[in-house]
């Protein structure tokens, strides 16, 4: 504006008081009476569930967590599931005997070594991984995915108790050697299995107690080894040496079984007897199949909400126009004269557009989830509780509401529709595109996306993450595998911080500038 | 004997239309700021992607994709420039005057498109040259060395990739111009254009069917445009580089056609 019009939009009624909710009501009236805006918000509500049909469509090929989109069309290997429907990796060598009722198994591990498989059938001299493991285990059966509780020594995380694939508790620290053996004990009492460890076989420390619901009376007790995988995906052969093996149940002799079949691992595991020792060597792992370790064809639940992006576009356009249309039609002068306290005018607009975005998101996300769970029937990668579903729906609604406020603030700052719309779309969409683009991802293990999804408004997409992360499973927790670097609410907080900062700048500019 | 003087039919030569449009373009502050933004953002975008490292001979990262990562941002500015070239006429009401002065609407649209193309092409060339130069300076330090299979960053392939990037940005500006003529509202048009650009690759990353993902990568203008900028693994891309550029050109042609039809059929 030129200097001649400096005071054009200043009100002479500045002293008059206006109720804030009165202002909100008048802004709501402005919003709902523009047919195009209402139609745009309805489009937002419709496209979010509609896109679930695209994002869940299945071809004959197999898309695993690598997200390259160019995977060869081969059938997906089935991913076994454990208790609670959790996808698991359950491949190891199990020296076992059947035991019935309550009792105790004890063993001392005197050595744990690892060798990486290089080439087709060649072993590197060394290559113990942090989560290579060997120890004692009580497992319901030799079927993949059956319930278990185990005490074990690991490559670099000391002694651990693990049960039912997802649970892990730390015991004694330090690595195992013939001079510093680790004594491990599991005590079964009904459905509860308690784990103990000891450095000398006389002083025992409680590590943890596991309750395995529905555990049968007869289970398999024995020794196991599983080498886990290196960060570049190589299979590791773990060799555990056991001494002082004692079972309180009547002894029945050891049977060796490759859980998952002999072809599940590169080379079937082995059991060797020698004077007073048993040596178990095996590839494979016992762990949840999360992140890049998941090889099945299931999709994470957030895939049904992929339409969030599509729905954001009309909402952002409307939120920007909610303020820039006033500038274009010079209605802003009337608005500002009617509501001379400019901050409150902006606040009223933010309340209206934020609420519109939130409600549109709530309806859209609820419909998408309802439709999507039906579409994904039996093809869900990770079981999702009602609590997580609620968090995903409410979080998505908040994501849209805050995005609308951000768009309103940018619109107020820029005052030009096209530039404001482009800015908001770019700051939300481009970081996401770059995060999915392998060139900017850290290629190493545990590099979950990068700065793109931590410091930009796109961080808010983490409210849709559904699968948990496991410290005992080192794998690729990347956006392609459905993981975001920030926790759900922290990601949303980043978007809120951007919206708050933009709103603050908009307040300042609106106050200082002539409209 | 009749005294009526037959006035010659008015002529509307293209040259005049071009001159008029060029005067509009040149005398407005917006376009030059946008073009400066196009260059800046495209070059700066490289900084974000320069976290890419190549540690072995098998890292399979395309250095051109790293150098031209700023195009993700730059194309949004190109799109805004294209949208505003026509959107501004509608939002200010100037369109009535423009079409009164130049009743041949197709000539007017052609002049608009031509006047947009030349500066955008120049700015895109500057932006891509800047990105390529910056990439040439930064990337060898990040492991993109002959030892890792990156013999030269100035081969014929690299020049083809840079040309592809320049043409891509220009085509996106023209696509936006065509859609703006059809939609008339700047905000809605830019939402539409950026949706068409960004949603295809986002959807392709999510869909579970690889065949569908590949089709989305073939149809979408952004992934097709990226194929035109690729320098390694060209044989495994969903489209060859020139096919990729062809797909973008088809999108642009369709948008311009739509804009032209709307302009002819509709009252402005």
ipTM of the complex, rounded to two decimals:
0.88
Residues A331, A260, single domain; the answer is no
Chain A residues within an 8 Å CB radius of B189: 418
Alpha helices in A239-378 (DSSP H): 308-328, 331-338, 342-375
CA distance B145 to B153: 9
pLDDT of residue A511: 85
**Does A214 lie in the same domain as A103?**
yes
Average pLDDT of chain B is 83
Cβ-contact A495, A404 below 8 angstroms: no
Same domain, A311 and A165: no
Strands A236-247 and A182-189: unpaired
Neighbours of A362 (CB within 10 A): 18
* Residues of chain A positioned with their CB less than 8 A from the CB of B72: 430, 433-434
A429 interface with B at CB cutoff 8 Å? yes
What is the structure's pLDDT at A319? 96
- How many Cα atoms within 13 Å fall on the side-chain side of residue A291? 24
Is pLDDT of A120 > 80? no
From the CA of B200, how many Å to the nearest CA of chain A?
10
Which residue in this structure is represented by tokens 């009743």? B103
pLDDT above 80: residue A472: yes
A456, A479, A455, A447: which is closest to A302 by C-alpha?
A479
Nearest-CB residue to A309 (from B52, B80, B199):
B199
Q: Are A324 and A460 within one domain?
A: yes
Is residue A102 situated within a structural domain?
yes
Same domain, A318 and A265: no
Mean pLDDT of A102-117: 92
Tell me, yes or no, whether B4 lies in a domain: no
Residue A62 in any domain: the answer is no
Q: Are A421 and A40 in contact (CB under 8 A)?
A: no
Q: Which residues contact residue B66 at a Cβ distance below 8 angstroms, ignoring those fewer than 6 apart?
A: A439, B46, B49, B50, B52, B135, B139, B144
**A284/A310 same-domain check:** no
d(CA A345, CA A513): 15
Task: Specify burial of residue B46 (Cβ count, 10 A radius: 0-12, 13-18, 19+).
Answer: buried
Residue A372, pLDDT > 80, answer: yes
Residue A337 has pLDDT above 90, yes or no: no
B18 touches chain A (CB under 8 A): no
CATH number at A179 reads 2.60.120
- Structural domain tally of chain B? 1
pLDDT given at position B149: 62
Answer whether A105's CB lies under 8 Å from A242's CB.
no
- Asked if the structure places residue B195 within a domain, the reply is yes
Report residue A49 as tokens.
């569930």
In a domain, A203, yes or no: yes
Across the interface, of B187, B198, B217, the residue whose CB is closest to A433 is B198
Compute CA distances B244 → B64, B175, B176, B232, B241, whole Å.
Answer: 15, 15, 18, 15, 5
In this structure, is residue B11 part of a structural domain? no
Pair A299, A283 in one domain: no
- CA distances to A253, A396, B267 from A247, rounded to whole Å, are 11, 53, 92
Are the beta carbons of A96 and A142 closer than 8 angstroms?
yes
Most confident of A123-127, A256-260, A369-373, B251-255: B251-255
What does the pLDDT read at residue A297? 78
Q: How confident is the model at residue B193 (pLDDT cuts 50, 70, 90)?
A: very high
∠ CA B123-B127-B133, rounded to 5°: 145
Indicate the angle between helix axes A20-32 and A35-55, nearest 10 degrees.
Answer: 70
Q: Are residues A39 and A110 in the same domain?
A: no
- Same domain? For A250 and A116 the reply is yes
Q: Give the domain-ending residue among A230, A254, A288.
A: A288
Q: Is residue A67 situated within a structural domain?
A: no
The position carrying tokens 């651990």 is A160
What are residue A108's phi and psi, to 5 degrees? -110, 125
* Nearest-CA distance B241 → chain A (Å): 17
| Token pair belonging to A225 | 């080894």
DSSP annotation of A10 reads -
CA-to-CA distance for A197 and A7, rounded, in angstroms?
80
| A14: in domain | no
Indicate whether A61 belongs to any domain: no
Across the interface, do B205 and A480 touch by the CB < 8 Å criterion?
A: yes
Instruction: Please report where in the chains the tokens 């700065």 appear, as a residue.
Output: A451
CA separation (Å) from B148 to A58, A454, B54, B60? 37, 31, 8, 9
Contacts of B187 in chain A (CB under 8 A): 317, 320-321, 324, 417-418, 420-421
Measured between alpha carbons, how far is A107 from A104 in angstroms, rounded to an integer? 10
Is A260 part of a structural domain of the chain? yes
Number of domains comprising chain A: 2
B1 within a domain of the structure (yes/no): no
Please give the average per-residue pLDDT across A129-148, as a whole number: 93
Please indicate, yes or no, if residue B201 is contained in any of the structural domains. yes
Q: Is the pLDDT of residue B257 over 90?
A: yes
Residue B99's domain comprises 16-50+60-144+154-265
pLDDT of residue A439: 53
Alpha-carbon distance of A130 to A220, in angstroms, equals 27
Distance CA(A437)–CA(A414), nearest Å, equals 30
Ranking A169-173, A241-245, A274-278, B156-160 by mean pLDDT, the lowest is B156-160
Q: What is the rounded end-to-end Cα distance, in angstroms, of chain B? A: 43
Distance from the Cα of residue A168 to its chain's centroid: 18
DSSP code of residue B68 = T
Shared domain for A368 and A261, answered yes or no, is no
Instruction: Flag whether B28 is in a domain.
Output: yes
**CB-CB contact of B214 with A70 (8 Å):** yes
Q: pLDDT at residue B242 above 50?
A: yes
pLDDT at A447: 42
Check pLDDT > 90 for residue B62.
no
Range with lowest mean pLDDT among A67-76, A146-155, A318-327, B148-157:
A67-76
B1: number of Cβ within 10 Å: 2
What percent of chain B has a predicted confidence (pLDDT) above 70?
87
Query: What are the pLDDT digits (tens) for A373-384?
Result: 888 877 888 888
User: Is the minimum CB–CB distance between B50 and chain A shorter than 8 Å?
Assistant: no
Q: What is the pLDDT of residue A64?
A: 45
Residues A262 and A302 in one domain: no
Q: Tokens 């805050």 map to which residue?
A: A402
pLDDT at A62: 52
- B7: which DSSP letter? P
Distance from CA of A448 to the nearest CA of B (A): 14
In terms of pLDDT, which residue wins out, A347 or A513? A347
Residues 315-344 of A with CB under 8 A from B: 316-317, 320-321, 324, 328
B209 within a domain of the structure (yes/no): yes
- Whether residue A17 is contained in a domain is answered as no
Q: What is the pLDDT of residue A77?
A: 65
Task: Compute the Cα dihedral for A145, A148, A149, A150 and give only its sign.
Answer: negative
Q: What is the reported pLDDT for B232?
A: 74
Taking the mean position of all CA atoms in its chain, how far away is CA A437?
Answer: 18
Instruction: Give domain status of residue B91, yes or no.
Output: yes
Q: What is the mean pLDDT of residues A500-507?
A: 95
CB contact under 8 A, B76 and A422: yes
Q: Which residue has the higher pLDDT, A50 or B66?
A: A50
Going from the C-alpha of B172 to that of each of A209, B180, B249, B253, the distances in angstroms are 62, 12, 9, 11
H/E stretch holding A281 reads strand A277-282
How buried is residue B113: exposed, middle or buried, by Cβ count under 10 Å (0-12/13-18/19+)? buried
Q: Does A58 touch chain B (CB under 8 A)?
A: yes
A259 or A475, which is more confident? A259
- Write out pLDDT tens, residues B103-112: 788 888 898 8
Q: Does any CB of chain B come closer than 8 Å to the CB of residue A370?
A: no
Residue A43 neighbours by CB distance under 10 Å: 19
Eight-state DSSP code of residue A453:
G
Q: Are B238 and A417 a contacting pair at CB < 8 A? A: no
| Listed residues A288, A309, A325: the one ending a domain | A288
pLDDT in tens, A379-401: 888 888 899 999 999 999 999 99
Residue matched to tokens 């193309």? B117
Same domain, A452 and A313: yes
Candidates A58, A69, A438; nearest CB to B214: A69
* Rounded-to-10 torsion of CA A47, A49, A54, A57: -170
Question: CB–CB of A433 and B51 under 8 A?
Answer: no
Please answer whether residues A52 and A304 qualify as being in contact, where contact means their C-beta atoms are separated by less than 8 angstroms: yes
Task: Find the mean pLDDT for residues B184-197.
Answer: 92
pLDDT(A368) > 60: yes
Question: What is the domain range of residue A340?
Answer: 23-55+295-512
Which tops the pLDDT comparison, A185 or B225?
A: A185
Domain boundary among A255, A271, A288: A288
- Taking the Cβ of residue B213 and every Cβ of chain A, the question of whether any pair is shorter than 8 Å is answered with yes
Strand, coil or helix: A134: strand
Out of A87-91, A279-283, B129-133, B169-173, least confident range: B129-133
Q: Which member of B187, B202, B214 has the closest CB to residue A421?
A: B187
Report A:383-422 residues touching B (Cβ under 8 A).
417-422
Longest dimension (CA), chain B: 94
If you average pLDDT over every residue of chain A, what do you get?
85
pLDDT band for B97, please (50, 70, 90 cuts).
Answer: confident
Please say if the pLDDT value at position A183 is more than 70.
yes
């Amino acid at each position: 504006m030129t200097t001649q019009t400096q005071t054009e939009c200043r009100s002479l009624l500045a002293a008059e008081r206006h109720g804030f909710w009165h202002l909100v009501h008048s802004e709501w009236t402005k919003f709902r009476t523009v047919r195009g805006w209402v139609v745009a918000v309805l489009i937002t509500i419709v496209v979010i569930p509609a896109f679930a049909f695209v994002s869940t469509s299945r071809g004959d090929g197999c898309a695993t967590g690598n997200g390259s989109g160019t995977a060869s069309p081969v059938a997906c290997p089935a991913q076994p599931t454990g208790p609670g429907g959790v996808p698991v990796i359950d491949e190891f060598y199990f020296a076992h005997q059947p035991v019935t009722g309550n009792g105790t198994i004890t063993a001392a591990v005197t050595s744990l070594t690892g060798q990486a498989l290089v080439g087709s059938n060649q072993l590197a001299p060394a290559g113990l991984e942090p989560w290579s493991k060997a120890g004692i285990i009580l497992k319901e059966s030799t079927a993949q995915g059956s319930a278990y509780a185990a005490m074990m020594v690991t490559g670099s995380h000391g002694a651990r108790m693990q049960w039912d694939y997802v649970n892990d508790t730390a015991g004694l620290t330090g690595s195992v050697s013939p001079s510093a053996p680790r004594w491990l004990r599991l005590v079964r009492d009904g459905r509860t299995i308690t784990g103990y460890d000891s450095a000398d076989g006389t002083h025992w420390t409680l590590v943890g107690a596991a309750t395995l619901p529905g555990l049968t009376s007869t289970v398999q007790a024995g020794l196991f080894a599983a080498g886990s995988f290196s960060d570049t995906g190589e299979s590791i052969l773990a060799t555990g040496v056991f001494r002082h093996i004692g079972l309180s149940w009547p002894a029945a002799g050891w049977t060796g079984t490759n859980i998952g079949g002999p072809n599940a691992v590169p080379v079937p595991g082995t059991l060797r007897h020698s004077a007073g020792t048993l040596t178990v060597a095996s590839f494979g792992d016992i762990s949840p199949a999360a992140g890049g370790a998941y090889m099945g064809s299931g999709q994470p639940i957030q895939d049904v909400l992929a339409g969030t992006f599509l729905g954001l576009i009309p909402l952002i356009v409307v939120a920007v126009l909610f303020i820039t249309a006033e500038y274009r039609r010079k209605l802003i002068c009337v608005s500002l004269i009617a509501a001379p306290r400019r901050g409150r005018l902006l606040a009223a607009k933010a309340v209206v557009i934020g609420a519109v975005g939130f409600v549109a998101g709530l309806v859209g996300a609820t419909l998408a989830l309802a439709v999507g769970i039906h579409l994904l029937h039996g093809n869900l990668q990770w079981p999702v509780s009602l609590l997580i579903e609620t968090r995903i729906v409410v979080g998505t609604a908040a994501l849209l509401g805050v995005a609308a406020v951000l768009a309103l603030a940018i619109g107020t700052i820029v005052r030009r529709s096209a530039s404001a719309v482009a800015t908001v779309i770019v700051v939300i969409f481009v970081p996401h595109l770059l995060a999915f683009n392998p060139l900017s991802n850290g290629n190493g293990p545990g590099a979950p996306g990068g700065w793109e999804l931590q410091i930009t408004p796109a961080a808010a997409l983490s409210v849709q993450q559904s699968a948990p992360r496991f410290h005992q499973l080192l794998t690729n927790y990347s956006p392609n595998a459905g993981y975001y670097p920030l926790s759900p609410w922290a990601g949303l907080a980043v978007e809120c911080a951007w919206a708050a900062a933009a709103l603050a700048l908009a307040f300042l500019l609106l106050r200082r500038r002539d409209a | 004997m009749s005294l009526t003087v037959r006035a010659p039919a008015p002529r509307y030569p293209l040259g005049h239309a071009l001159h008029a449009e060029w005067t509009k373009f040149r005398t407005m502050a917006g376009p030059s700021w946008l073009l400066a933004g196009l260059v800046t953002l495209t070059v700066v975008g490289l900084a974000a992607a320069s976290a890419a490292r190549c540690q072995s001979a098998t890292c399979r990262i395309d250095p051109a994709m790293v150098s031209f990562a700023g195009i993700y941002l730059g194309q949004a500015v190109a799109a805004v420039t294209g949208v505003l070239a026509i959107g501004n006429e509608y939002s200010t009401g100037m369109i009535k005057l423009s079409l009164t002065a130049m009743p041949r609407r197709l000539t007017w649209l052609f002049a608009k498109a031509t006047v947009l193309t030349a500066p955008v092409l120049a700015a895109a060339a500057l932006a891509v040259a800047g990105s390529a130069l910056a990439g040439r300076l930064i990337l060898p330090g990040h492991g993109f060395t002959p030892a890792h299979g990156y013999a030269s960053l100035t081969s014929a392939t690299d020049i083809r990739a840079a040309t592809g990037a320049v043409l891509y940005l220009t085509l996106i500006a023209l696509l936006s111009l065509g859609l703006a003529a059809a939609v008339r509202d700047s905000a809605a048009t830019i939402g539409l254009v950026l949706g068409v650009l960004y949603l295809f690759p986002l959807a392709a990353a999510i869909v579970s069917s690889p065949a569908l993902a590949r089709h989305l990568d073939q149809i979408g203008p952004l992934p097709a445009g990226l194929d035109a900028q690729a320098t390694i693994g060209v044989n495994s891309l969903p489209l060859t580089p020139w096919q990729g550029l062809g797909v973008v050109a088809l999108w642009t042609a369709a948008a311009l056609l739509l804009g032209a039809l709307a302009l002819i059929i509709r009252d402005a």
